[in-house]
Amino acid sequence: MGLVNLDIKPRSAFGKNENRRTRAGGHIPAVLYGKDRETESIELETHSFSVALMHLAGRTALFSLNGDEDNIALLREVQRNPVTDEILHVDLMSIPRGVPVTVPVALEVVGECQAVKSGDASVAMSLDRIEISVRPRHMPDYLEVDISELDVNDKIFAKDIKFENGELITDPETLILNIKASSLALEPLDEEGAEGEEGEEGASADGAEEKKDEE
């Protein structure tokens, strides 16, 4: 996947009032931390960060900082105002070059399942992403889940997801999806058979009453 560039600047002013001023000036207070390094107080340009989040659209948020592809950071947390949805604070984790990182990766269903196409079944998703350990440069935008060869009641587990680089962290036996039979596909009751059975029962009852009358 291509890394999204994110410009950062050092931040020297702290406290609630200063953070309000920072946001009012079109920037977001943030921190950058990582293993074997001191935590840095930084700020991000609000508009460019919001655009970057839209560009990522559900993918794992990895950034190259200030255009340096050797300086990579993973988005760990975005704090928002619960009423206005304004971004209040951002946490970024620095990723050393060549070091694997454990991240969730989105799953995308591909292929055409004939049972689903015919209306006999539907795709029941249990999980929409799995965790893998992978080097940032090899991180996929998403992982494909091919359902073209599946039939009714078939299942796909985490261990069935194929990817070239990295290691699966999610429990291999975790259910990803199954092809669930549609209620419309259930065999309808044979109306003629039902009427026939009812008719036979009725005839038997009538016969029993007639025999009783004769006695």
Contact 28, 89 (CB under 8 A): yes
Percent of the chain with pLDDT over 70: 83
What pLDDT sits at residue 212? 46
**75: enclosing H helix or E strand:** strand 68-80
Burial 117-143 (b: 16+ CB within 10 A, else e): eeebbbbeeeeebbbbebebeebbeeb
Single pTM value for the model: 0.65
pLDDT digits (tens, 9 = 90+) for 70-129: 788 888 899 999 999 999 999 999 888 778 888 889 999 999 999 999 999 999 999 999
**In angstroms, rounded to a whole number, what is the distance separating the alpha carbons of residues 174 and 159?**
8
**180: enclosing H helix or E strand:** strand 175-181
Q: Provide φ and ψ at 24, rounded to 5°.
A: -65, -25
Average pLDDT in the 180-207 region?
Answer: 56
pLDDT digits (tens, 9 = 90+) for 55-65: 776 677 788 88
Residue 191's pLDDT band, with cuts at 50, 70 and 90, is low
**Judging by DSSP bridges, how do beta strands 167-168 and 129-134 pair with one another?**
antiparallel
